Each structure stands twice: as C-alpha cells, then as structure tokens.
Amino acid sequence: MVTVYDVAKRAGVSIATVSRALNDRSRVSPETRRRVREVAAELGYQPNDLARSLVGKATQTIALLLPDITNPFFPELVKGVQTVADERGHLLLLCHNADDEDKALRDLAMLRRKQVDGVILVAGALPGERFAEAAAGLPVVVMDRAVAVPQSTLVAVDHRAGARQATEYLLRLGHRAIAHVTGPEHVPVSAQRRAGWEDALRAAGIEPDERLVVPGDFQEDGGFAAGRVLARQRGRFTAVFTANDLTAIGLLASFQEQGIRVPQDVSVIGFDGIHLAAYTSPTLTTVAQPIFALGQRAAELLLDRLAGQEPPADVVTLDTALVIRDSTGPPPGDPPAATHPTSRTRVEESRA
C-alpha cells in the first residue's frame, strides 16, 4: 500500500506538504503541488479515508435503513437518496431489516461504530420506542411516519389525506359501497390509510362497514388472498381501496381469476404510485407518492443538517397526486359517463 510517506520521500517533501498539495486547502507553491500530484499519480497513491476520518473529519457516509426492499416503492426511494448522496460526495450504506426491530437496532449500533455521519430511517412496522437511545448523537431523518427520535426530521406524505383523496374519488364516481384491503396490522401507516378511507365515507354520510374491511400485508400475496375473501361478498360492494399498489396488483390477479371484471364489475384504486401500476391489466388508478422526491428531500435535509443548517421544520410533507387510469369507473348499472380516460394516464389533482 502506497502512503503519504512514499509520496513524500519520492517528491522530496514532508508528509504535511503532500497532504496539503493533494487537498489544496492552504497555500502550497504551484510547482510543489504539481510535483506532488505527479508523484502521487505515478505511484498510484490512494488516500486512506479511515485515517483521514479518524483525524476528526466526517466519513462522508450516510446510511438508509429500510424495512423491505422488495416492495418497488423502496428501490425508487433509494434512487432518490442515492442521487443526492452522489451529488454531494457521500457514500450510501444500505441496511435492510425486514421489519425486525432487533436487527434495526443492531444496525444502528454498527453504524455508529463505523462513524457514519447520519442516518435515514424508514420506520415501517418498527415500534421505534427504542430508537432514541440507539440513535443517540446520530443525526437522523425519519421517513414514512414519526418515530420517537429526538431532533429528527420527518419526511412523508399525509397518508390519511391521501387515502381520503382516493376514497373521495370513488364516491365522486358514484360508488357507495367501498371495500378496503388494509396493510399489515399494527403498522401505523396501515392505520392512517384506513382512517382516511373512513374519513371520506363518514363525510359522505356512509358508516364504514366492518365486513368490507379485509386484511392485507402490503404485498401481492395479501391482495390475492383478499380477493378471494371479497369474492364471497360479491355484489355487496362496487369498489375497493387497497392500502398499497402491490396489494392492488394481487387483488387484480385474484379478480381476474374469478371472473370479476375491473372496472365494469368492481373499481380498484391503490396507493403509492409505483411505476408498475401503469402496466397492470387494467392499468391501475392510484394515489401516487412522489417517491423519488421523498428520497431526495430526505437526503437533502440530512446533508444540510450535517453541513450545519437548521432543519426548516420538524415535519416535511410532500403532496400526493391522484393518478387516474383504467381500473376505476362508475359503479355497474350507472350510465357510462365520460369518466373514462382518453389518454393512457391522467393525473387528476394534487393536494397539500
């Protein structure tokens, strides 16, 4: 391994000068700088960041803790974070905890030992009460939903309002009996989206029907299973709001298998706005989160804070947008109004 000593000797200067010539913060004669750089290149010198960071500088590394990288929502989020991290010269460490709190806690400890500069934490289903001490001293940005980490900033959409937006759209199409496939139990985001569905129904004078609430798991499998459960209640509902897009995809597959036509017999609307939602059959109407932007914003907030800036707020909320495609239409029996999209995809509205 080539070190500053090797470069110094060969260039005939001290290691201090090598350091200065390479990092050029302070005054070094142009001639010296040139010489040192030439020698460094010649020797293939690569600075050891371990030593550099040890001297007291940052590691230029941030970490992203994810509950489930398999949901296409997350890769898109990763890209948003990665983009900003790259631009600003930081490396991204990725930790996947599969909703296992102990794993997340272990990761956090390891990250602190490695001296990462900061962390972006997607809370998912994690209880999160024990994060406060695990993250002590670590700048953190939380995503998706709040978690009891002091000093942390939250970046998210308003899940409840988004769910309400979805349900209101179905109501506007004329639906009155609207089922809901939930996310996993005990996950705050599941509860928030369900609450939004209830809000919209109640605001329309409809009491949410427990029998039309079917459990899901945020994955295709849960949506598929929910489709079988719902099929038994055929005729008792004309639309379904699913807790996320993956659930809707499973539901669509299930309905297809059982000969339930979407949207002629039943309308389906999802949540998330993953890219794939434009390619289901029928294409999926959904409440889109600005996924990439959420990732970018979280990374910016974290890096700004590392650069000494005060966070603009404790909570940064981005807007959802209703993306209207082919899986929704008027309830069966209604006159075929001009609600059908003319183009492949139409973004109806966006809200704060």
Partner DNA sequence: CTGAAAGCGCTTACAG
C-alpha to C-alpha distance for 300 and 141, rounded to whole angstroms: 10
* Kind and range of the H or E run holding 91: strand 91-96
Question: Roughly what angle, to the nearest 10 degrees, separates helices 188-203 and 159-172?
Answer: 40
Residue 56 interacting partner from DNA, a second copy, none (CB closer than 5 to 8 Å by kind): DNA
**Cβ closest to DNA, residue 113 vs residue 186:** 113
How many other CB atoms are there within 10 angstroms of residue 296's CB atom?
22
Residue 28 interacting partner from DNA, a second copy, none (CB closer than 5 to 8 Å by kind): DNA
- Which segment (4-12, 215-223, 232-240, 305-313) binds DNA by CB under 7 A? 4-12
**Cβ closest to a second copy, residue 2 vs residue 191:** 2
| The residue count for the chain | 352
* Contact pick of 5, 136, 312, 313 for DNA (by CB under 7 A): 5
* Contact pick of 76, 144, 168, 245 for a second copy (by CB under 8 A): 76
C-alpha to C-alpha distance for 213 and 281, rounded to whole angstroms: 24
Q: What are the counts of helices (DSSP H) followed by strands (DSSP E) for the chain?
A: 12, 13
* Contact pick of 10, 24, 26, 276 for DNA (by CB under 7 A): 26
Contact (Cβ atoms closer than 8 angstroms) between residue 218 and residue 245: no
Instruction: Scan for tokens 């609600």, then name that residue.
Output: 339
CB of 320 to DNA, least distance (A): 44
C-alpha to C-alpha distance for 240 and 169, rounded to whole angstroms: 12
Q: Number of residues in contact with a second copy, rule: CB under 8 A?
A: 51
- 279 counts as binding DNA under rule CB under 7 A: no
Residue 5 interacting partner from a second copy, DNA, none (CB closer than 5 to 8 Å by kind): DNA
Residues 6+ apart with CB under 8 A from 90: 60, 61, 62, 117, 303
Q: Considering only CA atoms, which of 275, 309, 321, 281 is closest in space to residue 88?
A: 309
Per-residue burial over 122-136, b = 16 or more CB atoms within 10 Å of its CB, e = otherwise: bbbbbebeebeebbe
C-alpha to C-alpha distance for 45 and 291, rounded to whole angstroms: 40
Task: Decide the pairing of beta strands 118-122 and 140-143.
Answer: parallel
Which string of x and - marks every residue 53-92 that binds DNA (by CB under 7 A)? -xxxx-----------------------------------
Which string of x and - marks every residue 22-51 that binds a second copy (by CB under 8 A)? ----------------------x-xxxxxx
- Which segment (19-27, 105-113, 263-271, 300-308) binds a second copy by CB under 8 A? 105-113
CB of 56 to DNA, least distance (A): 6
Q: Which parts of this chain interact with DNA (CB under 7 A)?
A: 1, 3-5, 12-20, 22-23, 25-29, 31-32, 45-48, 51-52, 54-57
Q: Which parts of this chain interact with a second copy (CB under 8 A)?
A: 44, 46-51, 53-54, 59, 61, 69-70, 72, 74-76, 78-79, 82, 86, 91-96, 103, 109-115, 136, 220, 224, 249-250, 252-253, 256, 275-276, 278-283
